[in-house]
């Protein structure tokens, strides 16, 4: 049975930084409160021309370059996002088109902030089963578009960004070792975006009632998160046949430093074993785990041979954890040039659209 190795990684965040001081000019809050209660100092906010697909494509090209994998070699693209560009088409298809990933099936997976864990598990299982060889998992969010900037209990928390991993089949043991996925829909009300779906399609009333903004019972989510982070981590470690002392790094969803701290206490592990970058990005939802991973790898914290656990929780409610052995890129010849594929992707898309247009004209003439 092939193993599913993480062989490429990349991240992309908007340039625009929104600090706590900036927020204190919009709502009744202050830097000291936000830092003490959440650990966040600043977050990135997408500009008008930045979307989950554009951030996702940037992160993906970087991941493909690290793995030295051509977009045309991808069999599968899963984009996990709670702020999809449209209800359909899937953001994954927009990314597939912009990458020029001609062979890949592409779909979105929505498990809120736990999405990256669920998507990684799905991609790894597809590789383990032998049905595919190469997958791209992208976590990308522009949740800032769904935030009520008058609501100080939510607008301080979230930020935008994207992270992407390439997974490849290899006979060498390692890569994704285990994963656990959990859901409890009875807690769906505690964190939701009610408007814009088929229950509350956009109307004047839904806009007026604020149904298109994130709604959250912060205390309830906090209690739930502190309950599940340690237990999910332990479950993934047990499922991998490992013990906690063999785990070099825990990469938690970056929602609140106090939640990460509670998980560390629950697992009786020092905070130094946790990868934390919440201070600079806030909660980027499903992108937070890959962004934290990419930074830790690039800083040389996570190294080949390290065993680690990614653990997350979010709306749904959902929670889960994934244990992996970090290996790095599979040695290969030549170097892919993202710029070449970016151009190829654009040209291919244009040609496909033109062919579709001509086909439409011919079809009309035939009728």
- Residues classed as catalytic: 113, 253, 283
Which member of 47, 150, 172, 219 binds ligand COA (CB under 6 A)? 219
- Rule CB under 6 A: is residue 126 a binding residue for ligand COA? no
| Half-sphere exposure (Cβ direction) of 161: Cα atoms closer than 13 Å | 33
List all residues 6 or more positions away from 182 whose beta carbon is below 8 Å from its beta carbon.
228, 232, 318, 319, 320
Shortest approach of ligand COA to residue 251 CB, angstroms?
A: 15
Task: Tell me the closest approach of the beta carbon of residue 226 to ligand COA, in angstroms.
Answer: 9
Quick one: which of 57, 77, 166, 255 contacts ligand COA (CB under 6 A)? 255
Residue (166 or 287) nearer to ligand COA, CB: 287
- Candidates 222, 238, 342, 344: give the one binding ligand COA (CB under 6 A): 222
Phi first, then psi, for residue 134 (nearest 5°) are -135, 130
Q: Which is nearer to ligand COA, 135 or 255 (CB)?
A: 255
* Residue closer to ligand COA, measured from CB, 24 or 72: 24
Q: Is 234 in the site for ligand COA (CB under 6 A)?
A: no
Shortest gap between Cβ of 216 and ligand COA (angstroms)? 6
How far apart, in whole angstroms, are the C-alpha atoms of residue 67 and residue 96? 17
* 290 phi and psi angles, rounded to 5 deg: -65, -35
Residues touching ligand COA, count (CB under 6 A): 20
Is residue 226 involved in binding ligand COA (CB under 6 A)?
A: no
- Which residues contribute to the site for ligand COA (CB under 6 A)? 29, 33, 37-38, 113, 152-153, 156-157, 191, 216, 218-219, 221-222, 225, 255-256, 283, 314
């Amino acid at each position: 049975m092939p193993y599913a190795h993480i062989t490429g990684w990349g991240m992309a965040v908007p340039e625009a930084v929104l600090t706590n001081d900036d927020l204190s000019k919009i709502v009744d809050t202050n830097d000291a409160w936000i830092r003490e209660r959440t650990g966040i100092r600043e977050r990135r906010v997408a500009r008008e021309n930045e979307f989950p697909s554009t951030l996702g494509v940037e992160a993906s090209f970087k991941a493909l370059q690290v793995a030295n994998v051509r977009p045309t070699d991808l069999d599968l693209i899963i984009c996990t996002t709670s702020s999809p560009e449209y209800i359909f088409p899937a953001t994954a298809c927009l990314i597939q088109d912009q990458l020029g990933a001609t062979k890949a099936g592409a779909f979105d997976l929505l498990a809120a902030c736990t999405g990256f864990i669920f998507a990684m598990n799905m991609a790894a299982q597809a590789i383990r089963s032998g049905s595919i060889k190469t997958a791209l998992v992208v976590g990308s969010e522009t949740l800032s578009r769904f935030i009520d900037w008058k609501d100080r209990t939510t607008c301080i928390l979230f930020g935008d960004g994207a992270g992407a991993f390439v997974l490849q089949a290899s006979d060498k043991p390692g890569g994704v070792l285990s994963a656990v996925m959990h859901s409890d829909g009875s807690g769906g009300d505690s964190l939701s975006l009610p408007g814009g779906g088929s229950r509350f399609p956009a109307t004047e009333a839904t806009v007026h009632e604020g149904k298109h903004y994130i709604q959250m019972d912060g205390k309830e989510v906090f209690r739930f998160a502190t309950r599940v982070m340690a237990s999910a981590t332990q479950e993934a470690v047990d499922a991998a046949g490992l013990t906690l002392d063999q785990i070099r790094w825990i990469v938690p969803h970056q929602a609140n430093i106090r939640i990460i701290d509670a998980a560390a206490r629950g697992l009786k592990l020092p905070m130094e074993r946790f990868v934390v970058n919440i201070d600079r990005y806030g909660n980027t939802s499903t992108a937070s785990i890959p962004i934290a991973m990419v930074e830790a790898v690039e800083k040389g914290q996570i190294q080949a041979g390290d065993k680690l656990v990614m653990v997350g929780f979010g709306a749904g409610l959902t929670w889960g954890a994934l244990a992996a052995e970090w290996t790095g890129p599979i040695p290969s010849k030549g170097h892919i040039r993202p710029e070449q594929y970016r151009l190829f992707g654009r040209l291919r898309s244009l040609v496909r659209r033109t062919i579709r247009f001509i086909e439409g004209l011919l079809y009309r003439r035939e009728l």
